[in-house]
Amino acid sequence: MATDVPSELADHYDVLVVGGGHAGAQVAIALRQRNFDGTIAIVTEEFEQPYERPPLSKDYLSGEKDFERILIRPKDFWRDRHIDLGLGRRVTAVDPQAHRITVEDGSTLGYGQLVWAAGGHARSISCSGHNLAGVHSIRSRKDVDTLESELAATTRVAVIGGGYIGLEAAAVLTKLGKQVTVLEALDRVLARVAGEPLSRFFEAEHRAHGVDLRLNTQVDCIQDRDGRACGVRLADGEIIACEMVIVGIGMIPSVAPLRAAGAGGDAGVDVDEHCRTSLPDVFAIGDCAAHKSAFADGATIRLESVQNATDMATAAAQTIMGAPQVYHAVPWFWSNQYDLRLQTVGLSWNHDEALVRGDPGTRSFSVIYRRSGRVIALDCVNATKDYVQGRRLVVQASEASSEVLQDPATLLKDI
Ligand SMILES: Cc1cc2nc3c(=O)[nH]c(=O)nc-3n(C[C@H](O)[C@H](O)[C@H](O)COP(=O)(O)OP(=O)(O)OC[C@H]3O[C@@H](n4cnc5c(N)ncnc54)[C@H](O)[C@@H]3O)c2cc1C
């Protein structure tokens, strides 16, 4: 596997970014776009230049895109913009008084402003067998390269978790000719992020493509043959024989050093509307940052999306530049499975109504979510027009009637 050699770093940076994912890369890019002329470094655990994570369960996994094509910027970009990359360096501690961080190797670095953009790590399953060879998660390039190196010897794959990453992986692996079983603990897939009509549609699609999809299914353990996974035993005793297990059960925010330094938060690190943590001169952005969202009825939430990482990065860059801008971006997200493109705008998690617009049987339709009669989100399947035009309904919390919203003859832009 080609990796980049960690470069030498200075002792102090005006802006020090921890984490070289979407959020970390974007804050450095946004600062240079705004003519920030101070010193910037990105210190990150992985040995790769910043790259896009969504293709890992889509076209990078399928082999349709190589690594060069998923880099966030071309290789020379960082050097040309005078952004130092400290690859292969995991930050273990933050000293907010001294304005210094400590790296795993014991070295320390000073900062003027610290931007914590460390995302998170894949949650591992706690049952026995979780660390056997052949058990994978999909969070980093290394994860996917390792998984791919075992694919030729794999006929059957068990995917634990029917969330977006598990379902995307199931779709790719099915297309690659593998026999895929998806094991979901709840009574429907995508239960935490989408309404029932969308879940049922994707369940039918996966089954139609040959996936053995099990709902209400508890995993007891992963079975071991000579140190390798050879099956998943379910709570009812059934054994799903397989050569590979993919665990897609969410992520854990990488925030321990910041929390140990005193930053407030629960599952992540709390930030204000300018992405500032409770520590002086320390920002947090992206998957690890929890913020109060007007799109979630004022609740404090963490979003795991490229949109959130990018827009929070811009808000933090604006504040660093002395022109604070409140983070108030409409959440959006996408997922590709087979020939289906799902586009989501808004947040549906506390909806009380899910209206279907169009006919799921045509494989082009939308689900419009409302709370107390107001539109809060749309899930659009092969329906880009609805996605583009529905955004305004979310921003304005439209009170249009369900008859109008569900009438495919009425364009959403005309509502
Ligand atoms: C397989 C997959 C598919 C996805 N698909 C979609 C999609 O279709 N659409 C969408 O909108 N979003 C998608 N996402 C989510 C999206 O990729 C994330 O929301 C986004 O990557 C978050 O960016 P981030 O910079 O906050 O975190 P990350 O991208 O996780 O980057 C954080 C970086 O910090 C590093 N790091 C962690 N701890 C430390 C430490 N202590 N010291 C130094 N470095 C550290 C990590 O190794 C990592 O390189 C997907 C995610 C995955 C994993």
**Does any ligand 1 atom lie closer than 6 A to the CB of residue 77?**
no
Single out the residue of 333, 362, 357 nearest to residue 345, CA to CA. 333
pLDDT at 44: 98
Q: Is the CB of 53 under 6 A from ligand 1?
A: yes
User: Measured from the CB, is residue 348 less than 6 Å from ligand 1?
Assistant: no
CB 270 within 8 A of CB 300: yes
Provide the percentage of residues in the chain whose pLDDT is more than 70. 98
Q: Check residue 408 and report its DSSP letter.
A: T
The pLDDT of residue 5: 43
- Cα of 91 from ligand 1 centre, angstroms: 16
Q: Is the C-beta atom of 231 inside 6 A of ligand 1?
A: no
pLDDT on residue 113: 98
The predicted-structure confidence for 275-327, as pLDDT tens digits, reads as follows: 999 999 999 999 999 999 999 999 999 999 999 999 999 999 999 999 999 99
What pLDDT score does 7 carry? 65
pLDDT value for 349? 87
Report the nearest-CA residue for atom 50 of ligand 1: 54
Name, in order, each residue with C-beta under 8 angstroms of 50's C-beta and a sequence gap of 6 or more.
20, 21, 22, 24, 25, 42, 44, 71, 72, 73
Mutate to test the pocket of ligand 1, among 52, 53, 148 (most ligand atoms within 8 A of CB): 53
Ligand 1: which residue has its CA nearest to atom 5?
Answer: 54
CA angle (413, 414, 415) in 5-degree steps = 95
- Per-residue pLDDT of 313-367, as tens digits, reads 999 999 999 999 999 999 999 999 999 999 999 999 899 999 999 999 999 999 9
User: Structure pTM?
Assistant: 0.96
Contacts (Cβ under 8 Å, ≥6 apart) of 305: 331, 332, 333
Residue 122 CB–ligand 1 contact under 6 Å:
no
How many other C-beta atoms lie within 10 A of the C-beta of residue 118? Answer: 31
CA of 405 to the centre of ligand 1 (A): 35
Return d(Cα 298, Cα 291) in angstroms, integer. 9
All residue ranges of the chain with pLDDT < 70 are 1-7
What is the percentage of the chain residues whose pLDDT exceeds 90? 96
